[in-house]
Amino acid sequence: MRYLSTRGQSNSDTKNSAAPRFTEILLAGLAPDGGLYLPESYPQVGKAELEEWRGLSYADLAYAVLSRFIDDIPAADLQALIARTYTAQVYGNGRNREQAAEITPLRWLEKPDEARGEGGLAILELSNGPTLAFKDMAMQLLGNLFEYVLAKRGEEINILGATSGDTGSSAEYAMRGKERLRVFMLSPHQRMSAFQRAQMYSLHDENIHNIAVRGSFDDAQDIVKAVSSDHAFKARYRIGAVNSINWARIAAQIVYYFKAYFAATGGVGGSSDREVAFAVPSGNFGNICAGHIARMMGLPIGRLVLATNENDVLKEFFQSGVYRPRVSAETHATSSPSMDISKASNFERFAFDLVGRNASVIRNLWSAVDAGGSVDLSKTSFFAKLSDFGFAAGRSTHADRLATIRQTFEKYGLVIDPHTADGLKVGSELRSPDMPMVVLETALPAKFEETIGEALGRRPERPAALQGIEDLPQRVEVIDVSVDAVKAIIQRLLD
d(CA 454, CA 460): 11
Q: How far is the CB of 49 from ligand PLP (least distance, A)?
A: 27
Q: State the catalytic residue, choosing from 47, 111, 135, 343.
A: 135
Q: Between residues 112 and 281, which has the closer beta carbon with respect to ligand PLP? A: 281
Distance CA 156, CA 167 (A): 21
Which one, 103 or 245, has the nearer CB to ligand PLP? Answer: 245
At closest approach, how far in Å is the CB of 266 from ligand PLP? Answer: 28
What sign for the dihedral angle of Cα 456, 457, 463, 466? positive
Output 147 or 400, the one with its CB closest to ligand PLP: 400
Closest CA to 210 of 243, 181, 238, 182: 182
- We find the least distance from the C-beta atom of residue 283 to ligand PLP, in angstroms, to be 3
* Residues 57, 61, 67: CA angle, nearest 5 degrees: 145
Measured CA distances, 256 to 65, 134, 426 (Å): 10, 11, 20
Least distance from ligand PLP to the Cβ atom of residue 416, Å: 11
- Which residues is 276 bridged to in the sheet? 301
- Torsion region of 472: left, alpha or beta (phi above 0 gives left; psi -120 to 50 gives alpha): beta
**What is the DSSP track for 217-269?**
HHHHHHHHHHHHT-HHHHHHTTEE---TT-HHHHHHHHHHHHHHHHHHTTGGG
Which of residues 284 and 396 has its CB atom nearest to ligand PLP in the complex?
284
Q: Read off the amino acid at residue 26.
A: L
- Provide, rounded to whole angstroms, the least separation between the CB of residue 418 and ligand PLP: 8
**Ramachandran quadrant class, 306 (left: phi over 0; alpha: psi -120 to 50; beta: rest):** beta
47 annotated active-site:
no
Which is closer to ligand PLP, CB of 306 or CB of 479? 306
Q: How far is the CB of 185 from ligand PLP (least distance, A)?
A: 15
Query: CA–CA separation, 174 vs 3, rounded Å?
Result: 25
In the complex with ligand PLP, the residue whose CB is nearer, 147 or 166, is 166
Residues that bind ligand PLP in the complex, under the rule CB under 6 A: 133, 135, 166, 244, 281-287, 338-339, 419, 442-443
To 10 degrees, what angle do helices 58-66 and 247-264 make?
A: 130
Calpha distance 381→355 (Å, rounded): 9
Instruction: Write out the catalytic residue numbers.
Output: 135
